[in-house]
Amino acid sequence: MTDVLAPYVTNLDRDIFALRNLPEEVVAVLFAYYSRSRDDLRTNLKRLLNDQELDLLGAAPAMPSLSAAQAKAKAFHEKWVVGYGHASVAEHAVVHLAVERISIVAAKALEEARLAAYTEKSTRYVRFDEGTLVTDIGLPAKLQAQYEAAARGLLARYAVLADEVEAKLIARYPTPDETSPKAHAATLRAHACDLLRGLLPAGVPTNVGLTANARVLETHIGKLLGSPLAEVRRMAEGLRDEGRVIAPTLLKYTAPRPHRDNARARVFHAHGALHRVSNARPEEVALVDVTPEALRTVAAAVQCELFGTAWDEAWHAALDPSHAKKIVAAYLDERGPHDAPLRALEQVQFRFEIRCDYGAWRDLQRHRLVSATTPRLSTREGYVYAAELESLGVGDTVRRALDDVPVVYDQLAAEHPWEAQYVVPLAYQVRYVMSANLRELFHFCELRAARQGHPAYRRVAQKVARAVLNECPWLDPHFRIDWNDYPFARH
């Protein structure tokens, strides 16, 4: 006789096993039982299943109904998660959602939940055409027509230049002997997309795959429901409705949060009119502040982590810089190509102000342990574009297309500043503040400075890395930064 548990666990007799074929809310309850039951998970799962009077002797291989188990899970979550606030239980229910044909503006709002996982359609490998535009953004008819005309004009220019630039790249860079023609053609096509993605307006549609636990999703949907953008609110409603199919109880009480949604208005009222500071930093990357005595801080933290040393004792033992360097060097030695540095580095915090094009910000903002402010896209900071476009003979065309945008943007922004973002191309720059601990900066800089990265964010990562090394030169042997420039990101 087959054990009733066999369809739901990967083994019946070992201490480590995975759950499968179970509704996400049932999984969440089973893990929650760990803190409330002396029984093991298999025992509790069998109890849920036996409550349904399953026919264990039946020969049919069909999966038994889990309606009773789901009903028990619902009652459990209503009591403990909703009633008593034990929201950590909801972290064991995971929801996977496909979110398609949303604008880049909406995608960035979606990707603000740092504890979720995302995969997004790439502007670096996929061409966009004139017909691809999110149009239902809540503008009145006259402004809507201006938005669509300007955005479709950018997309039309992009489509024409994509063919022209790709053809010129093929003529300029013949296939190397050691490279297949097909692979080389793909490299040049992707390079053309890299060069021209700055022309894409933020209203172009993209697709995002989202995985999040129910606790993160519930909180994030509440935030999105309070967005000033109609598209984002519609997206939030879709996330809520589809998520409730998987975790109905845990997503039952999603709602806008006045604390978050009204923060801007409250602060504006308290502070009064905001005045621009005329001496904005001209640098692309500016270090604002860093934890004092970074070397000594890390060396002390290493001792606390590895030996349980009291902080004052560890701090005193790290007084001599040469001794502290030895401690940190030993701590970082033997790090393999895929090893993250260890956790003592988290005790040192850096804060940067970064100015980069919106296309680069889209990629840099995704890092989970980076705390980055979310700028509103505008034309205020000007634009940048690849110098190679000049040598390819299309620089004037690109500049004219980008120079036309501020007039339309200003007309939209006068009454609809949030919706005006949709017409702004990715070449326009944003200014934001980014904070990260030293451990996360290893990952951020080493990944984003790698050859396969887009040149726009490679440059930011390299400058962040240089600022880190200026403050912490003792990290130089351990910081694996690719400082080179390449004609192509991929080969």
Q: What sign does the CA torsion over 56, 62, 68, 72 have?
A: positive
pLDDT at site 110: 93
Cα torsion at 220, 223, 225, 229 (round to 10°)?
A: -120
Model confidence pLDDT, tens digit, residues 298-357: 999 999 999 999 999 999 999 999 999 999 999 999 999 889 999 999 999 999 999 999
Distance (Å, whole) CA 27 – CA 19? 8
Q: What percent of the chain has pLDDT over 90?
A: 55
Is pLDDT at 86 greater than 70 in this prediction? no
Q: Which residue has the higher pLDDT, 55 or 248?
A: 248
DSSP assignment string, 444-487: HHHHHTSTTS-HHHHHHHHHHHHHHHHH-GGGTTT--------S
Is pLDDT at 81 greater than 70 in this prediction? no
User: Where are any strands of DSSP class E within 76-204?
Assistant: 94-103, 117-120
Q: Tell me yes or no: is domain 94-267 CATH 3.30.750.200.
A: no
pLDDT at site 65: 57
Out of 52-61, 83-92, 284-293, the most confident range is 284-293
Distance (Å, whole) CA 164 – CA 169? 9
The pTM (predicted TM-score) of the whole model is: 0.85
Q: What percent of the chain has pLDDT over 70?
A: 88
Q: Which residue has the higher pLDDT, 49 or 318?
A: 318
Model confidence pLDDT, tens digit, residues 365-392: 888 788 898 999 999 999 999 999 999 9
pLDDT at site 470: 98
Distance (Å, whole) CA 150 – CA 419? 14
Chain centroid to CA 285: how far?
Answer: 20
Model confidence pLDDT, tens digit, residues 216-269: 888 899 999 999 999 999 999 998 888 888 777 777 777 887 887 788 788 777
Residues 298, 347 contacting (CB under 8 angstroms)? yes
Out of 1-5, 404-408, 486-490, the most confident range is 404-408
pLDDT at site 58: 34
Q: Which residue has the higher pLDDT, 332 or 3?
A: 332
pLDDT at site 475: 97
Nearest alpha carbon to residue 375 among 356, 350, 397? 356
Task: Tell me the pLDDT band of 491, cut-offs 50, 70 and 90.
Answer: low
Task: Tell me the pLDDT band of 56, cut-offs 50, 70 and 90.
Answer: very low
Helix (H) or strand (E) segment spanning residue 125: none
